[in-house]
């Protein structure tokens, strides 16, 4: 990552006490993603995932007071079992959209058979990064990672 990209990124890095294959399933199977992707009391009512570069990545987030947040995007890179890169800068069919971020999820095995998990949000500007941080990136993505672990432990 270049210095300018790092300046506009937010990162959550953890060793998750579950196998990488389970984490991958939680990230790539819509029926599992809807169970953990948003920190409670928020949730996801629908997820659509076409796991290929240019494939659709859609989540419909719902808030505790009836908030509705559809999030349309595409996958930029899919390395099975290891890496997902997605963005809201495009919709399916490479239709440009107003960009907010690129998400990058990387997974690696630890010596204990667990998962080294890095979730990164890359932004176009310092302002977008600051907005995402103020929205609670660290708390929210951390809580979602905890929910991911709890679900992965059941698989």
Residue 8 pLDDT: 87
Range of the structural domain that residue 133 is part of: 3-152
Domain count for the chain: 1
Residue 5 pLDDT: 56
**pLDDT, tens digit, 9 for 90 and up, residues 15-33:** 999 999 999 999 999 999 9
Residue 23 pLDDT: 98
**pLDDT, tens digit, 9 for 90 and up, residues 40-92:** 999 999 999 999 999 999 999 999 999 999 999 999 999 999 999 999 999 88
Q: How far apart are CA 5 and CA 146, in angstroms?
A: 27
DSSP 23-55: HHHHHH-HHHHHHHSS-TT-EEEEEEE--STT-
Is the pLDDT reported for residue 2 higher than 50?
A: no
Owner of token pair 């595409």: 74
Residue 39 pLDDT: 92
Instruction: Check if the beta carbon of residue 152 is closer than 8 Å to that of residue 18.
Output: yes
**pLDDT, tens digit, 9 for 90 and up, residues 94-114:** 888 888 899 999 999 999 999
Q: How far apart are CA 99 and CA 24, in angstroms?
A: 25
CATH for 72 = 3.30.530.20
């Amino acid at each position: 990552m270049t210095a300018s990209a790092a300046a506009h990124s937010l990162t959550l890095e953890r060793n998750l006490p579950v196998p990488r294959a389970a984490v991958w399933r939680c990230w790539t199977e819509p029926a599992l993603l809807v169970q953990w992707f948003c920190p409670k009391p928020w949730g996801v009512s629908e997820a659509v995932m076409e796991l290929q570069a240019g494939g659709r990545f859609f989540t419909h987030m719902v808030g505790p007071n009836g908030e509705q947040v559809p999030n349309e995007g595409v996958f930029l890179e899919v390395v099975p079992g290891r890496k997902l890169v997605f963005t809201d800068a495009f919709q399916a069919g490479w239709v440009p959209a107003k960009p907010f971020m690129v998400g990058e999820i990387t997974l690696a095995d630890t010596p204990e058979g667990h998962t080294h998990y890095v979730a990164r949000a890359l932004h176009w500007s310092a302002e977008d990064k600051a907005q995402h941080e103020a929205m609670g990136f660290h708390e929210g993505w951390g809580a979602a990672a905890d929910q991911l672990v709890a679900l992965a432990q059941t698989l």
